[in-house]
């Protein structure tokens, strides 16, 4: 178990100390940050005995995986918050135990957000002032804003997803599932965290002052915007999926049009080939050595006229042969797969 402690004297000066003070203090506050490694719950219980924390609540908070919540035990509060991990889109639990002079934060994972907050408290007079409830509000603000950062990442990703949707990229569905899973991971904790912050900003507990309530109100607004942004992101994903389906349908229509025009051009040629392929001795040009040349030329002329008619009617553009061949190839592949599907 790793323990570090900051002592603020109430005048805006904070310093790291080696051991948490025993018993109560007259002014300022003490922040004890605990990183639990393995099964150190008994040590945490002993540490929190200094603020007379309920042993059962300590074990429940440290051993169990809880969603954000607030438990009021009168002389101390137990506040469970969640932050965003640095290595992947996942959250970690931060258990906060608060009385009038002490804040003890307990976690089981490294936290860059807590580390940054810790360093800033040591060098910033503004962060070292105020009560312990205001310190807790600042910690909650850092964690909640980190959760809000997922929305910024989504905004950058959404443009790529829209581009893939309009191009009917086959990888889009996998990307959508991954992004939706990440959003759901954050959304699962944002709404409970917003409710916990709402409790703190309206609580009648003497441990939370008016200044603390105002700070918690600001953090609540951040959590509220994050929750609304996540809901909007879910709607955006649904719209991207609809755009993808529309692009797929458009591509399918293009392929179908190419195949239809191909069939329409080949139909009169098949009629000509079928006519002259009948097994009769007195067919026109059957005895002429140049007959096959004449028939072949006629078929070429019919094919050119048919293609010209379709272009004149505007049913097809004048695509390059490579583009038409590519579309036709996709259509044939889909047709081959259809029975298996």
| CA gap 142, 266 in Å, rounded | 69
Tokens found for residue 172? 């889009």
CB 101 within 8 A of CB 207: no
- pLDDT mean by block of 10 residues, the chain; 341 residues: 84 82 78 81 71 72 82 86 85 88 87 88 84 91 89 84 84 85 88 93 91 93 92 89 83 73 81 79 75 83 83 65 41 29 28
Cα separations in angstroms, 301 against 25, 257, 296, 297: 102, 22, 9, 6
What was the pLDDT predicted at 200?
A: 93
Tokens found for residue 257? 């049009």
Cα separations in angstroms, 68 against 115, 196, 222: 20, 6, 15
Residue 106 DSSP SS3: strand
Residue 203 DSSP SS3: coil
What was the pLDDT predicted at 50?
A: 67
Backbone φ and ψ of 298, nearest 5°: -60, -40
């Amino acid at each position: 178990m790793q323990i570090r402690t900051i002592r603020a004297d109430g005048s805006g000066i904070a310093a790291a100390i080696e051991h948490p003070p025993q018993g109560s203090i007259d002014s300022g506050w003490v922040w004890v940050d605990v990183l639990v490694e393995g099964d150190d719950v008994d040590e945490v219980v002993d540490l929190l005995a200094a603020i007379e924390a309920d042993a059962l609540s300590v074990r429940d908070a440290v051993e169990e995986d809880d969603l954000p919540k607030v438990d009021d035990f009168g002389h101390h509060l137990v506040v469970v918050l969640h932050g965003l991990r640095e290595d992947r889109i996942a959250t970690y639990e931060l258990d906060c135990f608060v009385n009038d002079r002490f804040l003890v934060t307990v976690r089981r994972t490294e936290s860059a957000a807590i580390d940054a907050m810790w360093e800033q408290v040591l060098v910033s007079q503004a962060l070292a002032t105020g009560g312990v409830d205001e310190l807790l509000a600042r910690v909650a603000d850092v964690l909640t804003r980190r959760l809000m950062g997922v929305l910024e990442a989504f905004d950058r990703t959404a443009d790529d997803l829209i581009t893939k949707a309009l191009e009917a990229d086959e990888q889009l569905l996998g990307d959508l599932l991954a992004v939706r899973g990440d959003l759901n991971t954050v959304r699962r904790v944002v709404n409970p965290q917003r409710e916990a912050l709402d409790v703190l900003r309206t609580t009648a507990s003497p441990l939370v002052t008016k200044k603390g309530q105002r700070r918690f109100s600001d953090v609540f607004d951040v959590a509220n915007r994050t929750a609304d942004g996540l809901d909007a992101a879910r709607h955006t994903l649904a719209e991207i999926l609809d755009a993808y389906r529309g692009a797929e349908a458009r591509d399918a229509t293009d392929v179908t049009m190419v195949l239809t025009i191909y069939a329409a051009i080949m139909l009169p040629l098949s009629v000509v080939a079928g006519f002259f392929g009948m097994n009769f001795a007195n067919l026109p040009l059957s005895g002429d050595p140049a007959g096959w040349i004449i028939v072949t030329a006629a078929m070429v002329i019919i094919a050119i006229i048919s293609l010209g008619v379709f272009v004149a009617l505007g049913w097809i553009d004048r695509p390059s042969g490579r583009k038409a061949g590519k579309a036709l190839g996709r259509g044939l592949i889909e047709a081959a797969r259809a029975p298996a599907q």
